[in-house]
């Protein structure tokens, strides 16, 4: 997308969250993030025009797909216009001047705390304190009633709230990335090769998914992701989400037409430039 | 499996949970459930022999797959020996003699509370109180320090703990089922047609998943489920979990051999009699 002056982007969570980092990475430094308490509020803010874009986490390389994001992408008539992958690098942040030896209570979101088990094992005097989110736990170090001595969050959160980073990259697994999608009310397909995300349902007959995948495979098109989600009211039947690389003006366009003809429901969620480093299943 | 006198089955959660109901359904009325606080403890109890079986929820027809269960099925050298599907029917239970009009505080697990939004909307005087789990919230109605007037849980929990059911089937969606797998230290493949669950990883080349699915499709074998989970340390690469119907002594056996040859890692998690009512993608 490149930088756009003053573009607003709804995120779920606080300033300084990894969603905020994703917004900066995908939309440039001039982006203004609009924090939302829930995914529902995020999608509503983009639908209403309150924010020009939304930045939605869809998958983490250790924990897998974020179901709610997939369900809302299908349910809302918005378009994916970009993707970005953020390395989840966790820092121990504290009020300036704090020494690690003086830290006892360390606050963060339970998922972030769980991702730093080796760090806690190596520093047995530290107590993990569950909090509402990572960035908020850094911000709350400066509240009048602060109860934690340090917090685990992004370097961005430390910078934004004026905290000092005592230790960097304390997460257990270095290969920890979250993939985010940028959504908008208008589609913005790039010219030429891109990544296209679609969602479809199939007639409930054996081999239907294999046949749908075949329209891409026989053209040598690379599927980078396939995800299934249940269809409420139709137990053990699924919506399939597929990401595929190719040129919608070329072979991919033919494949999409063929897939649409096989499908029961079918919707293209968007075409956008692929982030670097994609392999495919 | 049929009834077996005194068979022990580890479940995650309390007596009276839907896992308990699944154990009764899959293993018969004489099963003795061994409650465990976590999935980790459940798998450990089966591995150590403390319990002869484990009963693991893997998917709900509204909410989708339970990631942790899939990850642990791969990580532990246990075998799937049965499956069962439990209808999630939620009841409002209270101490005997309680009238609905006198109920204010209703406790349950947050997910169960979220599944009864229409009931709460129709009874605006009720307050939803989050609790540790469904069955425990019914049991705790009888604690000396009980703070709730009613709880939402299974009919089994109401019966076990002596609560009175004030309203039945208060869940928003009737088509709410959870699929459970029964795990054991020894495999127990049935004779003839069955369902087989396997997990594999593939070489990271375009079309690899399509080729793996082709070994089943070309033999007309019905895949009832495909699930992907991230491989830690290999971002955007996946383990694939497949359930397939067929006779391991016949065409399915050939297909499994062919799939194994295509795969990087490959493991059969078990063959077992399919529960009724399976369609396939």
Residue in chain B nearest A203 by alpha carbon: B281
Chain A interface mutation, best of B224, B235, B274, highest count of A Cβ atoms under 10 Å:
B235
A206 lies within 8 A of chain B by CB: yes
> Is the same domain home to B180 and B73?
yes
Calculate Rg over the CA atoms of chain B. 21
CB contact under 8 A, B206 and A222: yes
Residue B189 lies in a domain: no
Which class for A258: exposed (0-12), middle (13-18), buried (19 or more C-beta within 10 A)? middle
Residue A172 lies in a domain: no
**pLDDT for res A6:** 79
Interface of A with B in 246-275 (CB under 8 A): none
Residue A28 lies in a domain: yes
**pLDDT for res B6:** 79
Residues of B in Cβ contact (< 8 Å) with A214:
210
Q: Check pLDDT > 90 for residue A57.
A: yes
* Cβ proximity of A256 and A248 under 8 Å: yes
* Cβ proximity of B10 and B36 under 8 Å: yes
ipTM metric: 0.88
**pLDDT for res A206:** 85
C-alpha distance from A208 to closest chain B C-alpha (Å): 6
Residue B280 lies in a domain: no
CB contact under 8 A, B236 and A61: yes
Q: Which domain holds residue B43?
A: 8-87+176-184
Q: Regarding beta strands B64-65 and A91-94, do their DSSP bridges make them parallel or antiparallel, or are they unpaired?
A: unpaired
- Give the helix/strand (H/E) hosting B158: helix B155-161
Residue B235 lies in a domain: yes
Nearest to A230 among B61, B209, B280 (CB): B61
> Is the same domain home to B13 and B80?
yes
CB contact under 8 A, A173 and B234: no
Tens of pLDDT along A98-109? 999 999 999 999
Which among B32, B129, B242 is positioned nearest to A226, based on CA atoms?
B242
CB contact under 8 A, A280 and B220: no
> Is the same domain home to A103 and A74?
no
A142 catalytic? Reply is: no
> Is the same domain home to B95 and B215?
no
Q: What is the mean pLDDT of residues A36-56?
A: 97
Task: Please list the residues that pair with B85 across neighbouring strands.
Answer: B179
Question: Tokens 């509204």, residue?
Answer: B62
> Is the same domain home to B82 and B98?
no
C-alpha distance from A188 to closest chain B C-alpha (Å): 25
CATH number, domain of B29, equals 3.40.190.10
- Give the helix/strand (H/E) hosting A183: strand A177-184
Tens of pLDDT along B38-97? 999 999 999 999 999 999 999 999 999 999 999 999 999 999 999 999 999 999 999 999
> Rounded CA gap, A33 and B152, in Å?
39
C-alpha distance from B6 to closest chain A C-alpha (Å): 32
Tens of pLDDT along B3-39? 446 799 999 999 999 999 999 999 999 999 999 999 9
C-alpha distance from B157 to closest chain A C-alpha (Å): 25
CB contact under 8 A, A281 and B228: yes
Tens of pLDDT along B132-153? 889 999 999 999 999 999 999 9
**pLDDT for res A110:** 86
Residue A281 lies in a domain: no
Nearest to B279 among A60, A204, A281 (CB): A204
Residue B278 lies in a domain: no
A238 lies within 8 A of chain B by CB: yes
Residue B279 lies in a domain: no
> Rounded CA gap, B243 and B252, in Å?
11
**pLDDT for res B9:** 98
Those residues whose C-beta lies under 8 Å from the C-beta of residue A146, and which sit 6 or more positions away, are A140
**pLDDT for res B271:** 97
Which among B191, B165, B163 is positioned nearest to B249, based on CA atoms?
B191
Q: What is the mean pLDDT of residues B164-182?
A: 96
> Is the same domain home to A63 and A102?
no
> Is the same domain home to B14 and B79?
yes
> Rounded CA gap, B5 and B229, in Å?
37
Those residues whose C-beta lies under 8 Å from the C-beta of residue A124, and which sit 6 or more positions away, are none
> Is the same domain home to A54 and A102?
no
Tens of pLDDT along A110-128? 889 989 999 999 999 999 9
Residue B153's SS3 state is: strand
Confidence band (pLDDT; 50, 70, 90) for A277? low
Q: What is the mean pLDDT of residues A128-146?
A: 93
Q: What is the mean pLDDT of residues A222-229?
A: 94
CB contact under 8 A, B224 and A202: no
Q: Check pLDDT > 70 for residue A3.
A: no
CB contact under 8 A, B281 and A235: no
Percent of chain A having pLDDT more than 70?
Answer: 96
Residues of A in Cβ contact (< 8 Å) with B64:
67, 228-230
CB contact under 8 A, A281 and B237: yes
> Is the same domain home to B180 and B75?
yes
Q: Which of A180, A200, A216, A240 does the annotation list as catalytic?
A: A180
Which class for B66: exposed (0-12), middle (13-18), buried (19 or more C-beta within 10 A)? middle
A210 lies within 8 A of chain B by CB: yes
C-alpha distance from A162 to closest chain B C-alpha (Å): 32
* Cβ proximity of A237 and A230 under 8 Å: yes
> Rounded CA gap, B183 and B46, in Å?
8
Nearest to A208 among B207, B278, B281 (CB): B281
Task: Please list the residues that pair with A129 across neighbouring strands.
Answer: A107
CB contact under 8 A, B233 and A175: yes
Residue in chain B nearest A228 by alpha carbon: B227
- Give the helix/strand (H/E) hosting B140: none
CB contact under 8 A, B210 and A206: no
Question: Tokens 């995908």, residue?
Answer: A26
**pLDDT for res B192:** 84
CATH number, domain of B249, equals 3.30.70.260
**pLDDT for res B205:** 87
Q: What is the mean pLDDT of residues B101-113?
A: 93
> Is the same domain home to A80 and A108?
no
pTM of the model: 0.90
Catalytic residues of B: 178, 180
> Rounded CA gap, A257 and B213, in Å?
22
> Is the same domain home to B56 and B180?
yes
C-alpha distance from B62 to closest chain A C-alpha (Å): 5
DSSP string for B220-266: TPPEEEEEEEEETTEEEEEEEEEEEEE-TTTHHHHHHHHHHHHEEEE
Confidence band (pLDDT; 50, 70, 90) for A205? confident
Tens of pLDDT along A62-98? 999 999 999 999 999 999 999 999 999 999 999 999 9
Residues of A in Cβ contact (< 8 Å) with B224:
236
How many domains in chain B? 3
C-alpha distance from B52 to closest chain A C-alpha (Å): 29
Tokens of B217: 């499709």
B32 lies within 8 A of chain A by CB: no
A228 lies within 8 A of chain B by CB: yes
Q: What is the mean pLDDT of residues A48-56?
A: 98
Chain B interface mutation, best of A62, A207, A226, A234, highest count of B Cβ atoms under 10 Å:
A207
> Is the same domain home to B115 and B61?
no
**pLDDT for res A41:** 97
Chain B interface mutation, best of A236, A245, A276, highest count of B Cβ atoms under 10 Å:
A236
């Amino acid at each position: 997308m490149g930088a756009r002056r003053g573009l607003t982007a709804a995120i779920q969570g606080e300033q300084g969250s990894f969603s905020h980092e994703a917004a900066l990475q995908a939309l440039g430094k001039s982006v203004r993030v609009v924090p939302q308490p829930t995914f529902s509020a995020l999608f509503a803010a983009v639908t209403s025009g309150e924010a020009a874009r939304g930045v939605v986490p869809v998958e983490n390389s250790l924990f897998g797909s974020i179901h709610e994001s997939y369900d809302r992408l299908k349910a809302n008539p918005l378009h994916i216009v970009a993707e970005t992958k953020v390395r989840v690098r966790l820092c121990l942040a504290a009020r300036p001047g704090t020494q690690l030896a003086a830290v006892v209570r360390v606050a963060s979101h339970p998922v972030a705390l769980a991702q730093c088990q080796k760090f806690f094992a190596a520093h047995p005097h530290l107590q993990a304190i569950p909090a509402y989110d990572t960035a908020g736990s850094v911000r709350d170090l400066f509240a009048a009633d602060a109860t934690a001595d340090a917090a685990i969050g992004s370097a961005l959160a430390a910078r934004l709230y004026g905290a000092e980073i005592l230790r960097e990259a304390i997460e257990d697994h270095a290969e920890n990335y979250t993939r985010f999608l940028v959504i908008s009310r208008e589609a913005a397909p790039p010219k030429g090769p891109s990544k296209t995300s679609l969602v479809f349902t199939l007639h409930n007959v054996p081999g239907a998914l294999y046949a749908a995948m075949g329209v891409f495979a026989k053209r040598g098109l690379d599927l980078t992701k396939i995800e299934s989600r249940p269809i409420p009211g139709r137990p053990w039947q699924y919506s399939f989400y597929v990401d595929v690389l190719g040129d919608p003006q070329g072979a991919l366009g033919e494949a999409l037409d063929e897939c649409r003809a096989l499908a029961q429901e079918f919707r293209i969620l968007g075409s956008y430039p692929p982030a670097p480093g994609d392999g495919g299943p």
